[in-house]
Amino acid sequence: MAQQGTQKEDPGMAFIQSGFQNTELMPEHELKTQLCEFEPVDLGQRKKAFVRLCLTDILMAFPYILLAIAIVAGLGPGLANAMVAIAIVGFPIYARLSRGVVLSLREREFVEAARALGSSDRLILRRHLLPHLLAPVVVAFSLDVGAKILATAGLSFLGLGTQPPTADWGSMLATARTFVILSPHVALLPGLAIFLVVLALNILGDALQDYLDPRMRHG
């Protein structure tokens, strides 16, 4: 049976052919000008940023408390080493938050206007990006400090944090577990103190979030 009508033209091939035709009709100096408008890419900076992101993702892939225990086990028990370990495992959260805020702000109109006026990257970062970055970082820290206290108490409970005779809620709980049947208040008081402090810090973080977020204040 004979085919009815003509064969339908592929829209993809038509688009490519029209692009070639427009390129052929374009004057040579205009073509060179458009090709030179692409900004140069600093491969060294891209590689460094990629390595930093990979390290951040690797740290975030490990369980929080297990990585802290491994770091303290390598550095040795003590409050200073426990704080260093908690800072290392908690740093990727703030790095990811800061990067996300900066990436969302760098295409905003006020940043483009400052760049058009000739402001340097350092000036744009200090004057336009840091004020917008301060509020989410402060809120995240206030909400996360309770988790840091729990992690420190957990390391002390395992004998990797504060060492005797220095008092610590985690070490007090570890000592009181042997007297939990005869004197339950010995374990109840430090546990209640941890609970109240973490709860108060979380409430403070929620209040800071409501205060620093203009949409919550004017909504």
* 8 Å CB contact between 72 and 82: yes
83/169 Cα distance (integer angstroms):
15
* 8 Å CB contact between 161 and 155: yes
pLDDT per residue over 130-147, tens digit each?
A: 887 888 888 888 888 888
For residue 171 the two structure tokens come to: 């070490």
pLDDT of amino acid 214: 56
Q: Which pTM value belongs to this model?
A: 0.64
Residue 217 pLDDT level (bands cut at 50, 70, 90): low
Query: How far from each other are the two terminal CA atoms of the chain, in whole angstroms?
Result: 70
Topology given in CATH for the domain delimited by 44-218: MetI-like fold (1.10.3720)
Amino acid at 217: R
pLDDT cut 70: percent of the chain above it: 73
pLDDT of amino acid 50: 61
Comparing C-alpha atoms, which of 132, 147, 128, 122 is closest to residue 100? 132
